[in-house]
Structure 1
Amino acid sequence: MYSAFLALPTELRCNIYDYLLADSQAVTISAGYITIFGNRIQDRARKHDIPGLPLGLAPLARSHYDASLLSVAKPPEIAIDHGWMGDVEQTNSTLGMPAPLALQLTCHLVKDELTDYMRGRRQIKAARAQSLASNVDDQKSFTGIDEEGLSLHVTYPYGLLVLKSKYPYLLKQARRVYVSGYYTNPKDLEPGSPASPEGSDEERPTLSGSFAIAESFGTPAPMRTFRRRPFATAFAGASTDTRPAQRPRLRLDPPIAQQDRRASSTQTTFPPFFETTNALAPAALSHLIRTLFPPEASQVTKLSARILYPGENSYGTVWDDTNSPVTHILRSVCGGKIDMKVKRGPLATGLHMTVQPKTDGRIVSTSWENWRANATVRSTMRTPRMGVEDLDKFLVGEDENS
């Protein structure tokens, strides 16, 4: 069969390969809540089952960087008000192949040529990086080349499950991978909290309980049955009877402290995951790390992970919990330069980890800092307090840009 592309000279085909490899592309993978007229529903007729993904969520994929899919304060939603789930799912989860991968699938000759060209291009980059290691000015001009290729933005844990189930081929094509999300240990949740499944309706204040009369007053509970009286009788009774009517005493609970309100808001924003999600997400993360950082050299240049651990005393969960994402990343990286920055705050503990490939060894560095709210955005008349929006900026990466 005649092929116009193979009829081109080899030098021209190499120029086309170089153009495809130098082009920058970004992909964002996450999951969103399914809503109809503002109410969240479950998709029990899902066409493609994704292990670990709850029925109330649907996969989301964008062929560009979309920061709204990474937000936790305002999680993404998929509205099916004027459509059916099949069309919405196809629109939001359909993702094309990267150009180099699509070209490799044309025929064996093109695949061999492109693979050999990529190998030679990688060797030239490594030699150039070693020769320019002593020159700072040349290093600045050389860093622009690292922006080429595919950048993959994935959320934890739902984005990783969608990536492993629907788009596993993107891992071999990605040069930079950004993982952002949060992790909660079900054992750390307090019973009766909004996020705890053990909280029942009986433990919450009700209207009938609020109108109960305290026993210390020694008065019987009033009857709360009201009957409509004739207008004349009511008017006459009001003119002759001057005794005050007995009212039920309203029992109010003490006001919730501001710190407890902020903690409750944090637990509502970061709900716990299902058991299947907690079991499959660490395995998907380990698979991603082993694919990106094998014992031999690969094309990936950077891995960035931003993980939130909600709670004031969540620092121990970062290292002690066996299902913590950080522990799986450290165990799965064969070799590399690992830089970790731990931020401890009143609402959560944030960890920013950066991994760069290094096949001949492993270097780990860790730094700690107190996490405070950005004083430039808030009022300077009072001490700035952290909120959920500050945690969301950390996940998106806006805290370093501000």
Structure 2
Amino acid sequence: MAMTCPFFRLPVELRLHIYSFAVLHNPSITIGSAELIGSHPDIIHRLYGGKRNPYPGIPENHEPVVEACYNASLLCTTNPATVPLSVATPLPDESHEHPHTAHLALLLVNRQVNDELTSHLKILKNSRISLFLAYPHGLHVCRTLTPHLLRQARSVHIAGNYTSRTFCSARAACVVPTGPKIKYNGGAAPDSTTQLGELIASLFGPHATHAVQKMELRIYYSGEDSYSTVWGDDASPTVIALRNIYYGEVGIEVWRGRFGTGVYLTARPTVDGERKRVVSTTWRRLEEGRPGEPECGSWIVDPEWPEWRHEAVASDGRKGDLVVRATPITGH
């Protein structure tokens, strides 16, 4: 005789209360990585003590961070988050090999609980979270450690830097990679191009699996000749986003400056629900790096975060900025 799971003997109302408790009620979650700062023995103990191992796919001497709140330092590249190590520094709660939240644990019970919890999340729209991801390392952590959080997201916000190692703007050809090489745990860098494409396709692709109200992508391309990288590099996050957004209203703001280029891309479902893509583009002037101006690259963190607007609202810019009106594109 088949045994009945004790959980299903509970009244439906009580099970729904348990589901509600398991759903994270924090309005925001920030995911990134933080560098460990301390003596060499302290860093080694932090990485390898107990049953821990360095998390693969992020820079050496870094650890993944998932905070149940908004933390701008995890997104910032000019003043990034760190973990100062000392005797008083608490150790991680558990090995990164077993990142089981209550929500994920319930999803793994069986198919019925998974279906009930998934359906319950669709009802609890007001309790869904805003997910903030640092690019590329926070994106990697989300895709490999906490992909289930996308089920609870009502909005996704991605911010970071992009520097091409293969695209040469002068010749528009592939060249030998230059610049400092980042060493990664596990010896291999993550495939950020694929990870970003899969995430965006899951939100706005032809077979989207997650319904969100809005996605924001803020990417800073450093260098005087960075504008051509935005559109000419096949691995550019802007190109990847446009390639994987099949349906929705897309707004693009291109901020051009002396020291770099910022691209702010937003996507949201069409108001009428029609399967089409509508794109509008604005070119603005990015003022940074000179006395009295913001630090180069600090543009990637929106000062209004964690607040965001559901409707498409253009950023404040200088008078005379060029605006290209929305153009509907049906199909893809």
TM norm structure 2: 0.69
Quickly say closer, same or farther: Cα 1:110–1:338, change in 2 above 3 A. Answer: same
1:16, distance to aligned residue in structure 2 (A): 7.0
Aligned ranges 1:377-392 → 2 under 5 Å: 385-388=292-295, 391-392=297-298
Residue aligning to 1:290? 201
Instruction: Give secondary structure in 2 for the equivalent of 1:304.
Output: strand
Residue aligning to 1:313? 225
Distance in 2, matches of 1:24 and 1:309, equals 32
Alignment deviations for residues 176-201 of structure 1 (CA, whole Å, 9 cap, x no partner)? 11100011123669xxxxxxx979xx
Distance in 2, matches of 1:49 and 1:40, equals 14
Alignment deviations for residues 87-129 of structure 1 (CA, whole Å, 9 cap, x no partner)? 3484999865364x5544445444433444555x49xxxxxxx
More helix by share: 1
| Higher radius of gyration, 1 or 2 | 1
Residue aligning to 1:280? 191
Alignment deviations for residues 319-355 of structure 1 (CA, whole Å, 9 cap, x no partner)? 1111111111111122221111111122221111111
Residue aligning to 2:309? none
Residue aligning to 1:54? 59
Quickly say closer, same or farther: Cα 1:49–1:172, change in 2 above 3 A. Answer: farther
**Partners of 1:25 and 1:64 within 8 A in 2:** yes
**Partners of 2:134 and 2:160 within 8 A in 1:** yes
Instruction: Give secondary structure in 2 for the equivalent of 1:82.
Output: coil
1:77, distance to aligned residue in structure 2 (A): 1.5
Quickly say closer, same or farther: Cα 1:103–1:287, change in 2 above 3 A. Answer: same
Distance in 2, matches of 1:323 and 1:181, equals 14
Quickly say closer, same or farther: Cα 1:64–1:362, change in 2 above 3 A. Answer: same
**Partners of 1:171 and 1:291 within 8 A in 2:** no
Residue aligning to 2:282? 367
Q: Aligned partner of 1:317: which letter?
A: T
Q: Select the residue among 300, 303, 326 that pairs with 1:395.
A: 300
Aligned ranges 1:108-147 → 2 under 5 Å: 108-118=111-121, 121=123
Q: How many residues get paired?
A: 289
Distance in 2, matches of 1:294 and 1:51, equals 28
Q: Aligned partner of 1:362: which letter?
A: R
1:314, distance to aligned residue in structure 2 (A): 1.3
1:313, distance to aligned residue in structure 2 (A): 2.6
Distance in 1, matches of 2:112 and 2:16, equals 13
Instruction: Give secondary structure in 2 for the equivalent of 1:53.
Output: coil
**Partners of 1:44 and 1:55 within 8 A in 2:** no
Q: Which runs of 5+ in 1 are unaligned?
A: 123-144, 190-196, 200-270, 375-382
Q: Select the residue among 9, 26, 33 that pairs with 2:28.
A: 26
Distance in 2, matches of 1:7 and 1:110, equals 12
Q: Aligned partner of 1:287: which letter?
A: E
Q: Aligned partner of 1:25: which letter?
A: P
Quickly say closer, same or farther: Cα 1:11–1:60, change in 2 above 3 A. Answer: closer
- State yes or no: 1:155 paired with 2:134: yes
Quickly say closer, same or farther: Cα 1:338–1:373, change in 2 above 3 A. Answer: same
Distance in 2, matches of 1:14 and 1:315, equals 51
Q: Aligned partner of 2:293: which letter?
A: M
Q: Aligned partner of 1:153: which letter?
A: F
- Report percent identity of matched pairs: 30
Distance in 2, matches of 1:182 and 1:154, equals 12
- State yes or no: 1:97 paired with 2:101: yes
Instruction: Give secondary structure in 2 for the equivalent of 1:87.
Output: coil
Residue aligning to 2:319? none
**Partners of 1:171 and 1:288 within 8 A in 2:** no
Q: Which runs of 5+ in 2 are unaligned?
A: 170-176, 305-314, 317-332
